[in-house]
Amino acid sequence: MFTLSELATLNERQSYKLLKPWWEVFMDYLVVLMLMVSVLAGTLLLSRDRVVCLPIQPNTSFSNQSLGSESLPHTPTPPPPPPPPPQQVPSSHHQSFLSSTPISSGGKGSARGLRTNLDYQQYIYVSQVCYHEALPWFSRFFPYVALLQSLVLLVSGCFWFHFPLTSSRIEHFLTILAKCCESPWTSRALSHTARQDRGRSRATEEEERQQEGEEEEEEREGRREDRPQAYLRHPTLSSASITRQPSLDSGTDSPLLGRSDSTSTAAPPSPCPSTLSRTSSLSSLAFVDPPAPPQPHLCRLIPDTTRPMASLDRSDGEQARALFERVRRFRSHCESSDIIYKVYFAQTVFKVLKVVVIVSYTTPLLGSITFNHICQPLSHALTGYRAFECTHALASVLHKLLVVYLCLVGLFGLLGLYSLSWICHKSLRKYSFQCLHDTGSMLDVPDLCNDLAFLLHMADQYDPLLAHRLSVFLSPVSETRLLEENLERRWGVERLRSMTTCDPQGRTQLQLVALSSLPPALFTLGQLEVLKLELITDAKLPSQISNMTSLRELHLYHCTAAVEPGALHFLQERLEVLHLTFTQATVIPGWVYSLRGLQELHMTGHLGCEGGVGRGWGMGSLRQLRHLRVLSLWDSLTRIPAELGEVSGSLVRLEIHNEGARLLVLTGLRRLTGLTELQLQGCQLERLPSALLALTALRSLDLQHNCLRTLEELLSLQHLRRLSCLRLAHNRVLALPASVGVLRRLELLDLAHNELQSLPPALFTLHRLRRLYLAGNLLEVLPAEVGALTLLSELDLSGNRLESLPVELCTKCLELRNLNVSHNSLGSLPPDLGCLSQLTRLDLRGNSLEQLPAELGHCTGLCGGGLLVENWLLHSLPRQVRDLLTQPCSSSSTSVSSEPPSRPESDSFPTFSTSHWSFLLAAESRI
């Protein structure tokens, strides 16, 4: 029985035959025959090889002839020893003692021949000595030399399969090739390609036949016009008889149509030009009108959709995707070097040189294998003879085996020379799928080089279809088609609808991250309003996007989306908000600047450089955005682009988040006279820009996260008569000048996280002020003049050094709804705090309070969690007040208190935009 490991090894050995061309197979067979010849010769040599030697008489003509011109020195024959007694001499040795003189015929049982006076042991000794001295070395060691040479040729034939630098690549290639042949996607792709090829060939044939039919019709028309009228009135031809003849042109000779004399019941002729005859002459004589030219639209090729292909399941699709990636990596690895080609070339040269060496030294030794040999051992003192004539019993067999061996080696050498010429004359380090390109299928398969090209050339010698199956996983079009099918299967309508959520504005939104392309089912979601696409490499918007009639906002996060003409027309009419995130401005799609209906454009990426915005992105192209109202730029600009003036007629809001880079030139703002909102955050501004004086329509100014130290230029802002919102948080302002009082229309003032130590009385002359944020400063006293701000609804004093609150704050600021005095040094609260009946949120955490005033029970809006304080302080209140403040609030108060605060409780925690959070989530998912 075979173990599983043995079967696996056997299977691996069988797979190597894919890389063996026909000459390698023949060479392997020849090596096997060489081994058989050498083993047979060695077996005979070990079992039956011996020599038989007889002494040569020095005084006989036979010995003289055998010795040739060399004559042995004459030595007197020693007298024969006396015969031993009969009981001492064995009977088997009696015949070996022959007398040198004839024995008389009268004796009984007398032996005939020449007497040598040698016994059996002497014969064995002489034969052994002569085997080693007289027999040539090649006769004795030919089988072993042949066996060794055959083993060397055998090893050199498969050396490239086991060399460490090449074996891993070969095994990997064979594994990938097997996966490509077994993958269901291979059959689907080849079938799809075959159907396309058949469709193209049929369409070409139909066009050719249509052209030929039109030419025949033109020729028949010409013959009818040139034919004489007399011939048309020939009495022997009647119209009825002629029209009843079967005509190939009319299609009435078809076996599927019945013959009938009535033209009214006959089936109409087929308009397809394939049924037109090329050699019809009878139809040209008919009196009836010529048939109408064939309609091309009737014979248009209809794709075969009657047999739908079964879709891949999820596991097969994932395996095919993994195989595409594996082929891509293996290709990049193998095309970097040609080590396999060099090793195979070297082993082929070695085999040829080895054959030359074998033939060169074996052929001269062929004549040394003879039957007769003259032996002159140094045994004269033992035998009395100087020369012996020996015969080699296996000489003829070994001679024939050596001839066969040389023939096999010669054939092996010829195949090696053919292999070497094939390597030298064919460019094996380049492989082109020209056959596929010529047939019009898989035109996108790239050419290969180096080791991968060489392996495919070797595989072509076994089966050219193997390269076709591998080309399926080298084709980008095939990979794209697979991804589309996987997307259709994995991302159906139901799954997309389950992923749809609602944003804070109540709009339906869908976010897709790190997909290969957009699923087709996406464009069936007609109720979708916000679409977010992140890290999608091939985001193509087809014309089917027009089905998304509710789409108004689109986010493209590192997506170079391509748009079809039909989709572009839809986006120009419907899209209102566009968010773009990119690395370089050169990757911004050109269709962005043609969205004439766009109202908001948010761009995050590298835009700015010396002389303006990003290289390759002209701000002048924004002139087509005639309805653009909001423009947001997240970059490190050095100047305000002057090209923004192209959209000054419609632009009302400009946001520049400079990410800590210094914004040096702001003169470009002078042209944006229609701006009502301006944000310049992270621009490293040290003073208020003078260019702000030109923005007379400005309502909101945001200069947060800069380096402002003084606000002396606030006096110049008095010309901004519409300014109602001023945000100067996260700067380095040391003092607030009295000129702040000129901003009479201010409703929101944000001075949080600065270095203010006191507040000027002019601040409290801003009677329209509704929201005041002073958190994170160095204030120790809140002036009593704060009671003049009777419309104040939000006041943030957290993170200061206040020790008490003025009574005027509680008795005059009756509209106060949100009061934050956390993280101060308050030791007590004024009892008049209960006068703030509109208060819905009160934060007292982080102070030095010992008890809470019972008057807080009059602030009914604090119930249900509106009071933020340590739990132990709640026990200082009366039980009725405590229960009132901790009980769930009514529906009316819930609606008020559930409103999110207009500002976070603390700015110490960094805020991130949606795109930043999305980037972090996508990065974590990819890791």
- How far from 423 is each of 321, 420, 462, 520, CA to CA, in Å? 35, 5, 16, 50
Mean pLDDT value of segment 171-192: 86
3-class secondary structure, 530: strand
Q: Which two tokens stand for residue 300?
A: 């248009």
Q: Which two tokens stand for residue 161?
A: 């399969």
Nearest to 657 by CA among 477, 915, 465, 848: 915
Percent of the chain with pLDDT over 70: 75
- The winner for highest mean pLDDT among 383-387, 498-502, 914-918 is 498-502
Please name every residue paired with 563 in a beta bridge, in sequence order, or none if there are none. Answer: 541
Q: Which residue has the higher pLDDT, 729 or 181?
A: 729
Q: What is the pLDDT of residue 732?
A: 93
Mean pLDDT value of segment 428-456: 80
Q: What is the pLDDT of residue 469?
A: 86
- The winner for highest mean pLDDT among 312-316, 805-809, 915-919 is 805-809
Q: What is the pLDDT of residue 252?
A: 36
Q: How do residues 693-704 score in pLDDT, each as one tens digit?
A: 889 999 999 999
- Note whether 664 and 656 are within 8 A (CB): no
Least confident of 430-439, 783-792, 824-833: 430-439
Q: What is the pLDDT of residue 436?
A: 67
Q: What is the pLDDT of residue 201?
A: 66
DSSP secondary structure code for residue 678 in this structure = E
**Burial letters for 96-106: b for 16+ Cβ neighbours within 10 Å, e otherwise?**
bbbeeeeeeee
Please name every residue paired with 580 in a beta bridge, in sequence order, or none if there are none. Answer: 556, 603
Q: What is the pLDDT of residue 285?
A: 34
Mean pLDDT value of segment 732-760: 93
Task: Please state, in angstroms and rounded to a whole number, the distance separating the CA atoms of residues 693 and 720.
Answer: 7
Q: What is the pLDDT of residue 508?
A: 94
Q: What is the pLDDT of residue 502?
A: 93
Residue 297 pLDDT grade (very low, low, confident, very high; cuts 50, 70, 90): very low
Residue 612 has pLDDT above 50, yes or no: no
Q: What is the 3-state secondary structure (H, E, C) of 392-414?
A: ECCHHHHHHHHHHHHHHHHHHHH
Task: Please state, in angstroms and rounded to a whole number, the distance separating the CA atoms of residues 695 and 720.
Answer: 7
Q: Residue holding tokens 């058949």?
A: 198
Write down the mean pLDDT value for the chain. Answer: 77
- Taking the CA atoms of the chain, what radius of gyration do you get in angstroms? 53
Task: Please state, in angstroms and rounded to a whole number, the distance separating the CA atoms of residues 753 and 907.
Answer: 8
Task: Please state, in angstroms and rounded to a whole number, the distance separating the CA atoms of residues 923 and 927.
Answer: 6
Q: Which two tokens stand for residue 167?
A: 């074996």
Residue 553 has pLDDT above 70, yes or no: yes
Q: Which residue has the higher pLDDT, 491 or 91?
A: 491
Residue 906 pLDDT grade (very low, low, confident, very high; cuts 50, 70, 90): very low
Residue 924 has pLDDT above 80, yes or no: no
Residue 615 has pLDDT above 70, yes or no: no
Q: What is the pLDDT of residue 111?
A: 57
Q: What is the pLDDT of residue 813?
A: 93
Residue 678 has pLDDT above 90, yes or no: yes
Long-range (24+ apart) CB contacts under 8 A made by 568-576 are: 568/594, 570/543, 570/545, 570/546, 571/541, 571/545, 571/595, 572/596, 572/597, 573/597, 574/549, 575/551, 576/552, 576/600
251: left (phi over 0), alpha (psi -120 to 50) or beta: left
Mean pLDDT value of segment 415-431: 91
Task: Please state, in angstroms and rounded to a whole number, the distance separating the CA atoms of residues 609 and 658.
Answer: 12
Nearest to 201 by CA among 477, 441, 445, 472: 441
State the DSSP string of 211-229: HHHHHHHHHHHHHHHHS-H
Q: What is the pLDDT of residue 608?
A: 57
Please name every residue paired with 448 in a beta bridge, in sequence order, or none if there are none. Answer: 431
Q: Which residue has the higher pLDDT, 804 or 897?
A: 804
Q: Which two tokens stand for residue 577?
A: 């908000």
Q: Residue holding tokens 């005859």?
A: 277
Q: What is the pLDDT of residue 126?
A: 83
Residue 200 pLDDT grade (very low, low, confident, very high; cuts 50, 70, 90): low
Q: Which residue has the higher pLDDT, 198 or 873?
A: 873
Task: Please state, in angstroms and rounded to a whole number, the distance separating the CA atoms of residues 546 and 523.
Answer: 8
Q: What is the pLDDT of residue 800?
A: 96
Q: Residue holding tokens 């009228």?
A: 229
Residue 301 has pLDDT above 50, yes or no: no
Task: Please state, in angstroms and rounded to a whole number, the distance separating the CA atoms of residues 724 and 697.
Answer: 11
Q: Which residue has the higher pLDDT, 218 or 405?
A: 405
The count of residues in the chain is 927
Q: What is the pLDDT of residue 385?
A: 81
Mean pLDDT value of segment 413-432: 91
Residue 547 has pLDDT above 80, yes or no: yes
Tell if the pTM clears 0.75, that is, is over it. no
- Note whether 406 and 30 are within 8 A (CB): no
Residue 234 has pLDDT above 50, yes or no: no
